[in-house]
Copies of this chain bind each other. A is one copy, B any other.
Amino acid sequence: MAAGTLYTYPENWRAFKAQIAAQYSGARLKVATSPPAFTFGQTNRTPAFLSNFPLGKVPAYQGDDGFCLFESNAIAHFLSNDALRGATPQAAAQVLQWVSFADSEIIPPASAWVFPTLGIMQFNKQATEQAKEDVKRALTVLNQHLNTRTFLVGERVSLADITVVCSMLWLYKQNSLLNKCQIVCHISQFISKVLAREKHVSHLFCSVRPA
């Protein structure tokens, strides 16, 4: 069973994928988000950190045995168990399908929509309208898939569900955005089910109220 340390800044939705996967699988994960263990912007620019994690990005994982990984999908995969990864070749491929879907269909437009509302980017009406449409399109596909299923792959929670839920975190934090999106209840129910089974991490989403 994996054991190690996850370096990240607090409330990092990418790190949540790994943290939730570890909770489900039982991997022993220490999370370093603050001094002295880790200071984002400083520690990740040191030569020691960069020698293990050349991009200087977080989350970054170092096992107790020295094994190093960057890229959140890889870390979450490593900290998972076979059930989360997909126990058959078909299930494993479907898990990767939805992980890619989250990265390529949800994250870009969701970020383009949410970041201006957080004051991180300048607001651009045309870009925001396009982003909303793109988010709606992605969530419509997701909602349709969940019309007849409880989870994205198979009959139990997988890395697909964890990844997709985490990718929607900021959409849900900005609650009113999803209400405007007129999301059908399948997605909200889906999120509740993915998060409900794991009591240890529910506090990470305590500020989120599904629409």
Binding site for B on A (CB under 8 A): 2, 54-55, 67, 69-75, 77-78, 89-90, 92-94, 96-97, 100-101, 103-105, 141, 144-145
Contact = CB atoms under 8 A, between A and B. Distances in A.
Given A90-B78, A94-B74, A100-B73, A105 B54 contact: no
A85 to B, nearest CB: 8
A108 to B, nearest CB: 10
Nearest to A93: B78
A71 B90 contact: no
A77 B92 contact: yes
The 8 closest A-B pairs by CB, nearest first: A78-B93, A74-B97, A71-B100, A74-B96, A71-B97, A54-B141, A74-B93, A73-B100
Nearest to A85: B92
Given A90-B78, A92-B77, A71 B144 contact: no
A110 to B, nearest CB: 15
Contacts of A105: 55
Output the residue of A2, A94, A105, A144 with the most chain B CB within 10 A: A94
A141 B56 CA distance: 11
Contact of A144 (B54, B89, B94, B100): B54
Given A78-B89, A141-B55, A94 B73 contact: no
